[in-house]
Amino acid sequence: MLIVRRCLGFSLSLAASLHFGVMLPFGGHASAQGAGPADAAIAEVRRAYAQCREVQKPPAIELHQRRTGEPPVRIWQRQEPPEDEQAGGKMALFTANGVVRSTIEEVEGRSGDWQQIVEHCFRADGSVAFVLSVLRTFQGNVAVEDRMYFNPHGERIRTLRQVSDLKTNKRLNPREANFMDRKPQLYRSVEELLRVVGRKNVFPP
């Protein structure tokens, strides 16, 4: 249960500290009246995320990424692989009514100088609503937080980025920060996720 405690605790404490669903991210202000289509779309994503938060409770389905074969390929499995076959990826999946609603994936560089945690929130119909990615890297000594909002058609409707100094936590200008960026693996739907991690790993026959 180590991966669940580490990832789940990180994600929930992070989301709580950012007051997601109460304030617009990074200092924006919500308008109670006169909300346009864009505001309504963001509000819908927040409602979906609130539902995802409700299901982020143990027990979770735990998956581990394994490096195997020649040339080596990465596969997902429930069992933790031997140390020499570990690929650096772990994932906790949370379901409700037999449907995956949330995942928290942790990826670590083999060099140990970077770590990325990616949280996906899916709607009840399986479409992705929100993705939160947090990269901590010594390759520039920064923490990079990306928030991605999606409509029910899988189209990204908002992306927000915040970069801060890894040691002082001081915010930096994303355009001026010098670091090696790492794009997270994005899943536009639960079906896409299951094709990658293996449906039988999540829902054994």
pLDDT band at 134 (very low <50, low <70, confident <90, very high): very high
Taking only the tens place, the pLDDT of each residue in 165-196 is 999 999 999 888 888 889 999 999 999 999 99
Helix (H/G/I), strand (E/B), else coil: 11: helix
How far apart (Å, rounded) are the C-alpha atoms in residues 107 and 26? 25
How many CB atoms sit inside 10 A of residue 40's CB? 9
Q: Give the count of alpha carbons within 13 A of 144, CB side only.
A: 25
Instruction: List the domain boundaries for the chain.
Output: 2-24+49-202
How far apart (Å, rounded) are the C-alpha atoms in residues 50 and 55? 9
Contact 147, 159 (CB under 8 A): yes
Average pLDDT, the chain: 84
Taking only the tens place, the pLDDT of each residue in 70-111 is 888 899 999 999 999 999 899 999 999 999 999 999 998 877
**Model confidence, pTM:** 0.82
Res 34: pLDDT: 44
Find where tokens 């379901």 sit. 95
